[in-house]
Amino acid sequence: MTRDPAQPRYDWTLDEVEALFALPFTELVFRAAEVHRRWFDPTEVQISQLLSVKTGGCPENCGYCSQSQHFDTGVPASKLMDVDAVLAEAAKAKDGGAQRFCMGAAWRDLKDRDLPKVSAMISGVKAMGLETCVTLGMLKPDQAVALKDAGLDYYNHNLDTGPDYYASVVSTRTYQDRLDTLTAVRDAGISTCCGGIVGMGETRRDRAGLLHALATLPAHPDSLPINDLMPIKGTPLGGSEPLDGLEFVRTIAVARLVCPKSVVRLSAGREHMSRETQALCFLAGANSMFVGGKLLTTKNPELDQDARLFADLGLKPMGEGAQAPVALAAAE
Ligand code: SAM
Ligand code: DTB
Ligand code: SF4
């Protein structure tokens, strides 16, 4: 009996995932595009915008990160933003066309003392009619429940890379720590946003390892961000050899095939990607992106550039009756 490739599976082997990477490029992208349109309208893209609500000074040593206090990156540490200032940024993001507002904090874990302020940010953003997402480091089960009660839709917590390469990237928290936080998030009924980074000097097998880990979770991530490393001077991984664009597209395609119903985000790295590479990503199954000129601490394409990309590719924001972003509408 042949299996329907669009039906989610949780029993992938690492060899099977690696074999997908090895398919001829055109065959891989075709298969991914076929699966993509079984679950989604391939002209629709989910639009998120990021804000760093607490920047720098992080005690963790993630080797790619501008915000770790272990490396001299020139990113100054700042305190948790005031709720009003965050809501003002969320309003601007909404006006620009964002559908989800993602707030990131450079923390190892959430401290209970910060819960009331973070909860106020979440409920305030939610009240503006935006979807809410936060990424605050490790969470305990009761904290996840509190965030859900505040109106949280998504929690972002990445596995970052495959389990075999993980120790070369970060040593201050384990893969299992990350899996435990994801369990707390799922158990609280919050949607999961979980993916990783490529272009950190890992092998193709490591990239397959990341996607294998995601595809064999108890539930596939609702949102699956694939980040191309934004190289940061002063970090251990800042001088990594850039990943070939076609290999990035392959990673997107394999993510689409192993997690067919996940919303796959073409995440960090668009700033240094050609329009053609991005177009191939959308063809290969990516259907989410960050808009706005800034990610957390690094650059992202400006709205008018993305407006042109959307118009040229015939893409539209995901969802019935979704508002075309201002700059997108202006470019039509
Ligand atoms: N401190 C929290 C944590 O790590 O769980 C939340 C914020 S952290 C910056 C969120 C994610 O951004 C990381 O897990 C990583 O996957 C991604 N990220 C951070 N720096 C990056 C970079 N230079 N390039 C690409 N992705 C990056
Ligand atoms: C994710 O996977 N990518 C976003 C979000 N989740 C939090 C972060 C990208 C950060 C890129 C580097 C920076 O701007 O500092
Ligand atoms: Fe801290 Fe998150 Fe950066 Fe790691 S990725 S150093 S936990 S801010």
- For residue 298, the ligand 1 atom closest to its alpha carbon is 23
Confidence of residue 1 (pLDDT cuts 50, 70, 90): low
CA of 73 to the centre of ligand 1 (A): 15
The pLDDT of residue 319: 86
Whether pLDDT at 330 is above 80 = no
Ligand 2 mean position to 68 CA, how many Å? 13
Q: Which ligand is nearest to the CA of 295?
A: 2
Active site residues: 58, 62, 65, 102, 133, 193, 265
Q: Please report the beta strands in the chain, taking only residues with DSSP state E, as ranges in sequence order.
A: 44-54, 100-105, 131-135, 154-156, 191-193, 196-198, 223-228, 263-266, 288-290, 316-317
Residue 75's nearest CA partner among 301, 229, 298 is 298
Q: Which atom of ligand 3 is closest in space to residue 61's alpha carbon?
A: 6
Could you read off the pLDDT of 251-296 as tens digits, one per residue? 999 999 999 999 999 999 999 999 999 999 999 999 999 999 999 9
Mean predicted lDDT score pLDDT of the chain = 96
User: For residue 47, which of 300, 332, 275, 261 has the smallest C-alpha distance?
Assistant: 300
Q: Which ligand is nearest to the CA of 102?
A: 2
* Mean pLDDT calculated for residue range 164-193: 97
Q: Measured in angstroms, how far is the CA atom of residue 296 from the centroid of ligand 2? A: 6
Q: Does residue 202 surpass a pLDDT of 80?
A: yes
Check whether 308 has a pLDDT greater than 80: yes
Q: Give the pLDDT of residue 200.
A: 98
Instruction: Collect all residues with Cβ–Cβ distance below 8 Å to 13 and sequence separation of at least 6.
Output: 212
- Render pLDDT for 209-245 as a digit per residue (tens, 0 to 9): 999 999 999 999 999 999 999 999 999 999 999 999 9
CA distances from 103 to 80, 100, 318 (A): 11, 10, 21
CATH class of 25-315: alpha beta
In the three-class reduction of DSSP (H, G, I as helix; E, B as strand; rest coil), residue 45 is classed as: strand
Q: How confident is the model at residue 321 (pLDDT cuts 50, 70, 90)?
A: low
pLDDT at position 332, please? 53
Burial class of 13 by CB neighbour count within 10 A (0 to 12, 13 to 18, 19+): exposed
Q: How far apart are CA 298 and CA 318, in angstroms?
A: 25
Mean pLDDT of 300-321: 92
The CB of 75 under 6 Å from ligand 2? The reply is no
Does residue 117 or residue 330 have the better pLDDT?
Answer: 117
